């Protein structure tokens, strides 16, 4: 039987966010045949139909390729926020731009960003859910 003392104190919100291996980073499934990368589980590659994958780390720094400022969202989701596609050394990653005022004057395509984690909340057992986003690079 597991006890709360055995439970991790922090868990990633998504399977591809790694928290317990040094610095937080993302990992992708890379097709062994063509090198296409996917964050979700795959039975076959969408690019070449290969069926063998390896897990690879994704660069933690990148460049904003596209973004939008979201003004309307589901109830309970604070708006506005910046949703973006970030090129992390050749891998496209979807994520929010955090720790910046969500205004077009503060975000631009070509902007350098770095991976950042943040708390999504803590449950009654003291386990913190951790999400990721990107913030302006320092």
Report pLDDT digits (tens) over 96-121.
999 999 999 999 999 999 999 999 99
Q: Which domain holds residue 110?
A: 10-136
Determine how β-strand 81-88 pairs with β-strand 61-70. antiparallel
Please state the rounded mean pLDDT for residues 39-66: 96
Instruction: Using pLDDT thresholds of 50, 70 and 90, give the confidence band for residue 21.
Output: confident
CA–CA dist 37, 47 (Å, integer): 10
In a domain, 3, yes or no: no
Position 72 in a domain? yes
In a domain, 1, yes or no: no
pLDDT of the residue at 31 = 98
- Could you tell me the pLDDT band of residue 1, with boundaries at 50, 70 and 90? very low
d(C-alpha 109, C-alpha 44), whole Å = 32
CB 95 within 8 A of CB 132: yes
DSSP 73-127: -STT--S-EEEEEEEETTEEEEEEE-SS-SSTTT--TT-EEEEEEEEEEE-TTSP
Residue 62 lies in a domain: yes
71: in domain: yes
Pairwise CA distance, residues 112 & 62, whole Å = 6
Q: Average pLDDT over the chain, rounded to whole?
A: 93
- What pLDDT score does 2 carry? 45
Residue 84, pLDDT > 50, answer yes
Residue for token pair 């690019």: 47
Higher pLDDT, 2 or 70: 70
Domain annotation covers residue 87: yes
Percent pLDDT > 70 in the chain is: 94
CA angle 88, 91, 119 (to 5 degrees): 60
**2 within a domain of the structure (yes/no):** no
- Pick the residue with more confidence: 112 or 138? 112
The model carries a pTM of 0.88
Residue position matching structure tokens 């991976």 = 115
Whether 22 is covered by a domain: the verdict is: yes
Number of structural domains (the chain) is 1
In this structure, are residues 24 and 13 in contact, taking their beta carbons and an 8 Å threshold?
no
Q: What pLDDT was estimated at residue 51?
A: 97
């Amino acid at each position: 039987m597991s006890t709360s003392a055995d439970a991790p104190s922090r868990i990633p919100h998504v399977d591809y966010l790694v928290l317990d291996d040094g610095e937080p980073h993302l990992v992708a499934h890379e097709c062994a045949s063509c090198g296409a990368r996917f964050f979700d589980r795959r039975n076959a590659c969408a690019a070449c139909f290969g069926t063998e994958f390896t897990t690879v780390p994704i660069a933690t720094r990148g460049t904003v390729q596209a973004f939008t400022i979201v003004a309307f969202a589901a109830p309970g989701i604070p708006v506005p926020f910046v949703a973006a596609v970030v090129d992390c050394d050749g891998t496209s990653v979807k994520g929010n731009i955090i720790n910046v005022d969500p205004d077009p004057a503060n975000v631009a395509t070509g902007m350098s960003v770095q991976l950042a984690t943040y708390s999504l909340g803590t449950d009654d057992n003291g386990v913190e859910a951790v999400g990721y986003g990107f913030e302006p690079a320092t």
